[in-house]
Amino acid sequence: MRLVPWWALLSSGCAPFVLIGGWTIAALLEGPAYDPVTQTISVLAAYGAAGFWVMTGALFTLGVCHLLTAWGLRPAAFAGRVALGGGGVAALVVALVPPPSSGGSLRHGSVAAVGFTLLAVWPVLAAVRGAPAPWGLRPLPSIAATALMVLAALWFLIEMQQDDGVIGAAERLVTAIQSLWPFMVVASCVRHPYGDRPPD
């Protein structure tokens, strides 16, 4: 029996391409006035931005990808699947409540923070102990993934406090890692020998 359905590999593999492709195209539409190193992704999704529709669509699609991946990732512990799905819901809500063109938004920022947190902790919550689990669901890689995401998020928070910080670069690092890790986990499940689902 296959550990994960084929479409989970598709949904998890599309997530980083949709996110990175979305912010790349939206930045090109915004033109030279936008600096991806010092400005956040949210600027691209703000009302009135030239690439608003591209970035909003990318965030919405990212949320759907995470939800589908959480649904199909049967070998993972249930708590991790819930956290990944919650991160997907947060991405959907972020797409539905973009910040105003005038600046930040408490609603948008709060939902984004919840999404960052859920996507940072899901690897540890999804880890499977005991049985020979797929590589991406073993405790050590899961802890390392969460630690890397937390460190990247801390860098993002530090840059937010700086007047001339590279907040855009930090945000792109943490979101890229968070969008890529589900694919790594699903790919490890696909490569894992067929058999019964490892116990939670």
SS (H, E, C) the chain: CCCCCHHHHHHHHHHHHHHHHHHHHHHHHHCCCCCCCCCCHHHHHCCCCCCHHHHHHHHHHHHHHHHHHHHHCCCCCHHHHHHHHHHHHHHHHHHHCCCCCCCCCHHHHHHHHHHHHHHHHHHHHHCCCCCCCCHHHCHHHHHHHHHHHHHHHHHHHHHHCCCCCCHHHHHHHHHHHHHHHHHHHHHHHHHCCCCCCCCC
Query: Within a domain: residue 46?
Result: yes
pLDDT of residue 36: 94
Please state the pTM of the whole predicted model: 0.90
Query: Within a domain: residue 1?
Result: no
Query: Within a domain: residue 113?
Result: yes
Domain count, the chain: 1
- Tell me: the pLDDT tens digits for 73-103? 999 999 999 999 999 999 999 999 888 766 6
**Domain range for 41:** 6-191
Query: Within a domain: residue 199?
Result: no
Query: Within a domain: residue 198?
Result: no
Query: Within a domain: residue 75?
Result: yes
Q: Which residue has the higher pLDDT, 45 or 144?
A: 144
Among the residue ranges 128-137, 141-150, 170-179, 190-199, the one predicted with the least confidence is 190-199
Query: Within a domain: residue 196?
Result: no
Instruction: Tell me the pLDDT band of 163, cut-offs 50, 70 and 90.
Output: confident
Query: Within a domain: residue 55?
Result: yes
